[in-house]
Amino acid sequence: MSVSRKIKINHIRSFAALVIIVLLANIVSSLFYFRLDLTEDKRYTIQPATREVLKGLDDIVVIRSYLDGELPVAFVRMKKTLAETLNEFKVIAGKKIRFEFVNPYTVSSSKKQEQFFRQLADKGLVPTNVHVKDKEGAMIQRIIFPGCILTYKGKEVAVNLLRNNPNISGEENINLSIQNFEYALIDAIDRVTTDTRQRIAFIQGHGEFDEFETGDIERELSQYYEVSRVIINGDPNALKPYKTIIVAGPNRPMPEADKLIIDQFIMQGGRVLWFVDPVNVSIDSLSTGASTLAFMNQHNLDDMLFRYGARLNPLLVQDIQCSVIPVNAALVGQEPRFVPAPWLYYPLLMPPTDNPITKGLNLIQAKFISPIDTVGMNAEVKKRILLTTSKESKLVKVPALINLNQVSKGITRYEFQNPSLPVAVELQGFFKSNFRNRPINAIIPNNTINFIDKSIFTKMIVVADADIIRNDIQRRPNGAYVIPLGYDRFTQQTYGNKELVVNMVKYLCDDNGLLDLRSRDIKLRLLDRKRTVSERLYWQLVNMVLPSLIMVFAGIIWHLVRRKKYTFTHVN
């Protein structure tokens, strides 16, 4: 047999062996499921809490995404990542997850298209305007819907995927949106597939905010929970049906009987969200007159909160990072002329990015806020600061006269020497009762309470400003109109108050760790704009010329090797 024939046979055998190995590898891989996430930030790893929800599905969840069609580059990246996330969901849930991408511009006529857009908006999808290039290269404005609609057993829920924080860049907003995909989708799946919803309650009877002052947040929370209002009135069973209670803005002393019932609610594992003003300032009085008096709020909760690990200080905070209010700058006798002026008593709080409750939120608007101290030596209670003031803030003692004329005095920066004052704290662990070693029968004589002096594991959040949860109200002839929580009518900006409160309640009610999915951090790796401009030619040459040179050089070497290998020496 000739040498060339042997070489051909060896090549055929090698190729056949390679084919057999590939086929065997495919057969083995089809029998065993595994995936490797080699990224540094584990961006393709689905968390255990998500897997638990997906594996527990008992029927098909259909996900229709309307992020499709002609999209800018950033939204193309969003669509690609969303498809990858949904594919991962489908791998875990199998046939219980179905998804598709729908181009909202496939509707034939403009009239039907407008109707379709209105239907999507009515279902809860929030549109956004973008600029894209048409087929001829011209820039045109288009409306896109960066979100999904989930359908399960006839129920629908909208999921808006685009974050819109005005304090960060567009690239960072896109990246933040991508980080939030897993949580946003699994939270919606959990919400639409849950038959029984947890019950929460707003406490009433001690001067707390009414249904109008918390109307917007109640409407938002009702999408997730059964929301009620409860007057305790000394009834030991008043709080038994509820998972979480919200104490929002008490301005009258809470009776010891009601405090005891809340205390025992906590001892049995109940969760509490406290919005308590240590200082009482009448905003209505300030708006109708030149000044008002700030004095201590007699809410009678200091001993309870101190026992649990938080102390509300009866002080007011002024902060250079603050919102503005309209001030009449016209002279006496002239037409009113309102101009924006910074109001130091309305701090704008920057939410930290290392906490799932506050990550990615817009600034939080506070009004007449006070500082909080964490106290106590209970090692079984962990304390975590949720919100702080800016690095330029100061404290004002009470009683104090608050006057709108303070706006015209200007700001003396060296006076603001109290940086990063805590104003909201989260407590979790095993709490001691505020009523241990006290005669319980003297507090509620006609009722029997199975008193517990130490709680099971539970958690609470204490905020030293009730106005964070309070929405404005516009009085009209036909009734009261509830203004969205966090919306500033003067600047027309919406702050992050509503999302903050929703996240707080979700955190308190969540026992599965779903909210922890918000703590995922995918690094944003952007090009250095200065280097891309200054080194443009260099990198163009590297990417266009260098690969060709490498191929040519490799071809030359390969040719020389083959020539040397298959050249025969003839002997005379």
Residue range 340-360: mean pLDDT, rounded: 89
* Cα 352 → chain centroid: 11
Cα(247)–Cα(114) distance, integer angstroms: 44
Q: How far is CA 63 from CA 44, 60, 189, 395, 506, in A?
A: 19, 10, 10, 51, 23
Q: What are phi and psi of 484, to 5 degrees?
A: -55, 140
pLDDT of residue 384: 94
Q: Using the structure block, give the residue that is written with the tokens 């919100």.
A: 387
Q: What is the pLDDT of residue 378?
A: 87
Q: What pLDDT, on the 0 to 100 scale, is given for residue 572?
A: 47
pLDDT band at 402 (very low <50, low <70, confident <90, very high): confident
Residue from 388, 350, 346 nearest 367 by CA: 346
Classify residue 358 by its DSSP letter: T
Mutual angle of helices 73-93 and 181-193, in 10-degree steps = 50
According to CATH, what is the number of the domain 196-519? 3.40.50
Q: Are 399 and 281 in contact (CB under 8 A)?
A: no
**pLDDT given at position 4:** 65
Confirm if 292 and 345 have CB atoms less than 8 A apart. Answer: no
pLDDT confidence band for 426 (50 / 70 / 90): very high
Query: What's the mean pLDDT in 363-381?
Result: 93
pLDDT bracket for residue 506 (50, 70, 90): very high
On average, the pLDDT of the chain sits at 86
Alpha-carbon span 400 to 293, nearest angstrom: 6
Nearest one of 216, 488, 225, 235 to 346, comparing CA atoms: 488
Which of 24-38, 168-182, 556-570 shows the lowest mean pLDDT across its residues? 24-38
* pLDDT, greater one: 500 or 336: 500
Span 281-305, pLDDT tens digits = 887 766 655 678 899 999 999 999 9
pLDDT in tens, 439-483: 888 888 877 788 999 999 999 999 999 999 999 988 777 777 899
- pTM here? 0.83
pLDDT of 500 over the 70 cut: yes
Query: CB under 8 Å, gap of 24 or more: what pairs does 296-299 form?
Result: 296/398, 296/399, 297/251, 298/251, 298/252, 298/253, 299/206, 299/250, 299/251, 299/252, 299/253, 299/254
Task: Write the DSSP string, 411-431.
Answer: --GGG----S-EEEEEEEE-P
pLDDT in tens, 240-269: 999 999 999 999 999 999 999 999 999 999
Is the pLDDT assigned to residue 53 strictly greater than 70? yes
CATH number of 48-192: 3.40.30
Chain center to CA of 329: 39
Which of 22-36, 79-93, 334-348, 452-466 has the weakest average pLDDT?
A: 22-36
- Residue 482: count of CB within 10 angstroms of its CB: 19
pLDDT at 9: 73
Residues of the chain with pLDDT > 70: what percent? Answer: 89
Q: What is the mean pLDDT of residues 216-223?
A: 94
Angstrom distance (rounded) from CA 157 to CA 525: 33
- Read off the pLDDT of residues 310-349 as tens digits, 9 standing for 90 and up: 999 999 999 999 998 877 766 666 777 777 888 899 999 9
Residue 517 and residue 572: Cα distance in Å, rounded?
80
Fill in the DSSP letter of residue 432.
B
Which residue has 């805590």 as its token pair? 422
Length of the chain: 572
Q: What is the DSSP letter of 472?
A: P
State pLDDT tens for residues 136-195.
Answer: 666 677 888 999 999 998 889 999 988 887 777 777 888 888 888 889 999 999 888 888
> Is 74 within 8 Å of 157 (Cβ atoms)?
no
Who contacts 512 (Cβ-Cβ below 8 Å, separation ≥6)?
49, 52, 53
pLDDT at 132: 67
pLDDT of 30 reads: 61
| Per-residue pLDDT band at 557 (split at 50, 70, 90) | confident
**What is residue 474's predicted lDDT score, i.e. its pLDDT?**
86
